[in-house]
Amino acid sequence: MKAAVYHAPHAPLRIEELDIDEPLAGEVLVRTAASGVCGSDAHIAEGFLPDVPVPMVLGHEAAGVVEAVGPGVDYVRRGDHVVICPSVWCGACEMCLRGHPYLCTQRPVRAPDQPPRLSRGGEPVHQFTNISSFAEQMLVAERATLKVDRELPLDSLALIGCGILTGLGAALRTARVEAGSTVAVFGAGGVGLAAVQGALIAGAATIISVDLSPRKLETAQQFGATHGVDASRVDPVEGIREIVPGGVDYAFEAIGNKTTAEQAFASIRDAGTAVLIGFFPAEARLDLPAADFISEKKLIGSRMGSNRFRLDMPAYIELYRQGRLKLDEMVTRRGKLEDVNEAFRAMREGEVTRTVLGFG
């Protein structure tokens, strides 16, 4: 099969022919139909996590059609349409039992003495998040799949597996935004726009999008933002407080940047909540005034929208069916596997909300 392979930071991904194994117990072989190009993929390619093993196939926001199943698989069968999610869970570890399957500590992966899922010339090729969707096929755990209706468009549904799940879930599940509240979202990329949509669905009265790009701020209004703050022209904290004196109830940081994370915390009012959903470099540290915590200001993290994906994703798909969640509009560019490096460039330049790679 063809796949886009990552070899070194700042180097273009290379399209190569790889071998993919047959599914073992609890595994599913999926023919990739569509893969979103997420910021996390770009961050890996840019060296944010220097210890990532190589060679590796990136990609993790995907949908496709089941081609084969391993022993013991009974949730899906050949021909089923599925959305793929990196939040694979075991169902037995302490995190799973405590209701946090997205923090599972015993995700089902192949043992070292088993053959690799992906290989080239007999040598293993690593999977990103145990998915690797920048490839014609994916070999994943059964618990990485969500079965969906065949009439729904897989290129749009692919976004639910990561970007939508992360931003929407941060608002609806992690922070549990209340109706009538005030919200600021730092970053108007794919995840930020999903958080804007989550705030709108939750019934927030004021939703402020913060970004350096006027064009992206205009886009945010199409997804539910009531106001925009151009951080290239004004201090974003001051801009937010001009709209909501005293600060907002909730602020979401969807970039993964130290400065904007600190600004998000500074923009909340007493008893407000700032939520970090961006992908931060491993060495990132925040400087925050400790006295603010006496006023019950809260800073919390959100991992992929605190999802229980086989419960949450069907609910989000129903919102899409009802016209309350915009998915089709999030896809601003389509391409093929060979366009993956161009998709990274367009993302860095802020030209797209999401590029989706199609596989026919």
Name the CATH superfamily, with its identifier, for domain 2-161+326-358.
Medium-chain alcohol dehydrogenases, catalytic domain (3.90.180.10)
Per-residue pLDDT of the chain (360 residues; tens, 9 = 90+): 999 999 999 999 999 999 999 999 999 999 999 999 999 999 999 988 888 999 999 999 999 999 999 999 999 999 999 999 999 999 999 999 999 999 999 999 999 999 999 999 999 999 999 999 999 999 999 999 999 999 999 999 999 999 999 999 999 999 999 999 999 999 999 999 999 999 999 999 999 999 999 999 999 999 999 999 999 999 999 999 999 999 999 999 999 999 999 999 999 999 999 999 998 988 899 999 999 999 999 999 999 999 999 999 999 999 999 999 999 999 999 999 999 999 999 999 999 999 999 997
| Closest alpha carbon to 196 in 234, 170, 230, 160 | 170
Spatial separation of the C-alpha atoms in residues 87 and 1, rounded to whole Å: 25
Spatial separation of the C-alpha atoms in residues 122 and 125, rounded to whole Å: 9
Question: What is the number of alpha carbons within 13 Å of residue 78 lying toward its C-beta?
Answer: 6
Tokens representing 216 are 């992206």
Which residues lie across from 299 on neighbouring strands?
Answer: 274
Spatial separation of the C-alpha atoms in residues 280 and 26, rounded to whole Å: 32
pLDDT at 281: 84
Q: Where do the structural domains in the chain lie, given as residue ranges?
A: 2-161+326-358, 167-305
CB 84 within 8 A of CB 133: yes
Q: What are the residue numbers of the active site?
A: 38, 40, 43, 60, 162
Main-chain dihedrals φ then ψ at residue 336, nearest 5 degrees: -110, 175
pLDDT at 360: 77
Q: Which long-range contacts (CB under 8 A, 24 or more apart) does 198-202 make?
A: 198/167, 198/168, 198/169, 198/170, 198/171, 198/172, 199/171, 199/224, 199/250, 200/224, 201/168, 201/171, 201/172, 201/319, 201/324, 201/325, 202/171, 202/172, 202/176, 202/177, 202/178
Query: Crossing angle, helix 214-222 and helix 190-202, to 10 degrees?
Result: 40
As assigned by CATH, the class of the 167-305 domain is: alpha beta
**Following DSSP, what letter does each residue of 145-156 receive, concatenated?**
EEEE-TTS-HHH
CA distances from 233 to 92, 220, 221 (A): 50, 18, 18
pLDDT at 49: 84
- Measured from the Cβ of residue 294, the count of other Cβ atoms closer than 10 Å reads 9
Query: Crossing angle, helix 236-243 and helix 258-266, to 10 degrees?
Result: 30
CB 230 within 8 A of CB 211: yes
pLDDT at 166: 98
Residue in this structure with the two tokens 């993956």, named with its chain if needed: 340
- Measured from the Cβ of residue 15, the count of other Cβ atoms closer than 10 Å reads 16
